[in-house]
Amino acid sequence: MDGSDGLVVVLASASLLLAHHGVRRAGASRGSVLGTLLVNAAVLVTLATTRPAWTVWVVAGVSAVGAVYALVATGRDESRKVSVLDVMGLRGLIGIVAAAPPPQVIGLMVPVTGGLMITAFGSDALPEGRRYRVQPAGYCPFCLVEEQARRLLGAQAAELLAEYRDHLRQGRSRHVLLRRAAPGDPWQGRLQDRRAYRAPRRRPFCQLHAASTGTDGTDRAGGTDGAGGSGGSGGSGGSGEPGT
C-alpha cells in the first residue's frame, strides 16, 4: 500500500463528511442533497480511476455512515423545531397571531398520520414564528382547521371551507393558508395550490368529516374516539361545526 493512498483516503473521507454536515446544516434541502450526491460521485469516480479499489470501498463506507448519521440528526433537529400543543394551546396561539401586527400567515394542515400541523409565520421575536403540532387525540382535526378559519375569516370562510370539504371527499387533505398583509386589512384564506396531501384514515373524526373522508368514525385499531360524537373541537351532535 502506497503511503499516499492512506492520506488520500483520509482527505476524501473528511471532505465527504463535511459535505454531509453541510446537508444537515441546510436542513436536507433538495439542492444540498443533490450537491452532496454530486460530490460523492466525483470523489468516488476519481478514486476508482487513480487509486486502488480498496480506497473506493473505504471512502464509500465512511460516506455511507456519515450520510446515515446526517439523516438521523437532521430528523432529530427538525423534530425539535416543532412545538407540541394541545387543543387549548392551539386556540391560544391563534389568538396571539390574530393580535400580532401584520403581515401574518398561518398554515393549517391535517397530515396523513393524523393530528394537526400548524405553521405560523411572523417576526422571529414573536412566539408564532415557529411550527407546531397538535397530536392525534380525542378531537376531530378537520373541525379544528375549520374553527380557526372561521375565527379569522368570519362569514367569508364559508366558500373556502366548502372547497376544503370537496377535497376531503376526494381523499385529499389540503393546506389551508390564512393571511393578513397589512394593518387594517381583513384576513384572507386560500388552499395551497402546489400540494395535495392524502387525508388520514386511521383516526376517527366527527360524523360530518368521517363522511367527508370516507371513514365510519371508528378507529381501525379498535374502539371509537370521543371526536366521533362531539364534533371533535367543541361542536355538538357530530354536526362538524366547531364550538367557539
d(CA 182, CA 218): 43
The DSSP result for 95-162, as a single string, is HHHHHSPSPEEEEEE--TTSSEEEEEE--TTSTTSEEEEEPS-SS-HHHHHHHHHHHHHGGGHHHHHH
Q: If you search the block for the grid coordinates 471532505, which residue do you land on? A: 15
Mark whether 71 and 86 lie in a shared domain: no
Mark whether 30 and 145 lie in a shared domain: no
pTM for this entry = 0.56
- What pLDDT sits at residue 61? 92
Work out whether the CA dihedral 201, 207, 208, 212 comes out positive or negative: positive
- Domain membership flag for residue 95: yes
Mark whether 97 and 157 lie in a shared domain: yes
Which of residues 210 and 129 earns the better pLDDT score? 210
Mark whether 109 and 52 lie in a shared domain: no
The DSSP result for 151-166, as a single string, is HHHGGGHHHHHHHHHH
Task: For residue 35, name the pLDDT band (cuts at 50, 70, 90).
Answer: confident
Residues 6+ apart with CB under 8 A from 56: 44, 47, 48
Least-confidence region, from 25-34, 59-68, 141-150, 158-167: 25-34
Q: What is the mean pLDDT of residues 232-237?
A: 36
For the chain, the average pLDDT equals 74
Q: What's the total number of domains in the chain?
A: 2
- Domain membership flag for residue 99: yes
| Residue 176: other Cβ atoms inside 10 A | 24
Q: What is the mean pLDDT of residues 27-37?
A: 74
Mark whether 110 and 94 lie in a shared domain: yes
- What pLDDT sits at residue 57? 93
Q: What is the mean pLDDT of residues 172-178?
A: 85
Task: For residue 86, name the pLDDT band (cuts at 50, 70, 90).
Answer: confident
Last residue of a domain, one of 80, 115, 134: 80
- What pLDDT sits at residue 17? 86
- What pLDDT sits at residue 160? 92
Last residue of a domain, one of 80, 95, 118: 80
Task: For residue 158, name the pLDDT band (cuts at 50, 70, 90).
Answer: very high
- What pLDDT sits at residue 205? 67
Mark whether 210 and 103 lie in a shared domain: yes
Mark whether 120 and 170 lie in a shared domain: yes
d(CA 138, CA 150): 21
- Domain membership flag for residue 242: no
Last residue of a domain, one of 47, 80, 113: 80
- Domain membership flag for residue 239: no
Identify how many contiguous H helices and E strands the chain contains and give both numbers: 8, 8
Mark whether 61 and 89 lie in a shared domain: no
Mark whether 226 and 126 lie in a shared domain: yes
Mark whether 116 and 156 lie in a shared domain: yes
The boundaries of the domain holding residue 88 are 82-230
d(CA 232, CA 161): 17
Work out whether the CA dihedral 215, 216, 219, 225 comes out positive or negative: positive
| pLDDT tens figures, 93-143 | 888 877 877 778 888 888 877 777 777 665 444 544 567 778 777 788 888
- What pLDDT sits at residue 149? 92
